[in-house]
Amino acid sequence: MSKKIAVYLVIFSIFLTGFSDSFTSSNKNVEVFDLTQSKVVKITPTNKVLQKEAEKSIRSITLLSKKVSPLPRKGALVRIPLDPAVSIRNEWMDDLVDEVIIIFGEREKPLLMVFTDENRTLFFEYNYNPKEIRTLLK
């Protein structure tokens, strides 16, 4: 079992390196990363509505995800910059977050991915329905 986790962590770190490189173009844009194509497929300027919806998702965090593989094979990652940064204070972290990444799988319940100040990646389950975000981004 530990060998599986080690392999997953190596693949995940390689994936995140490519993922973060693709998002360096502008921190002010909302970006949609297609997991099947492994590339950014949509870039749109952020707006107050998207930021408010992202804040709602943060405020509805219920627990730390216990999935061994939180990234689905098919779906999308939506990166939403937050300006000003939003405070996340719960039993798992106490940090200001300047961006949130919503993970949309084909059949999985969406997850939130956030980075701590120490560059740890945390995945959270939440109660908020991101229907408005999907509608705004089509």
Residue 116: the pLDDT is: 83
Q: List for the chain the helix, strand, coil content (%; round to 5).
A: 30, 40, 30
Query: Is 107 in contact with 61 (CB distance < 8 Å)?
Result: no
Question: Taking 80 as the threshold, does the pLDDT of residue 18 lie above it?
Answer: no
Residue 23 pLDDT exceeds 50: no
Rounded percentage of the chain residues whose pLDDT exceeds 90: 41
* Whole-prediction pTM: 0.78
Compute the distance between CA of residue 59 and CA of residue 86 in angstroms, rounded to an integer: 9
Question: pLDDT category, 102, cuts 50, 70, 90?
Answer: very high
Q: Does the pLDDT value for residue 40 go beyond 80?
A: yes
Does the pLDDT of residue 74 top 70, yes or no?
A: yes
d(CA 74, CA 93): 28
CB 88 within 8 A of CB 94: yes
At 7 the pLDDT is 40
pLDDT score at 129: 87
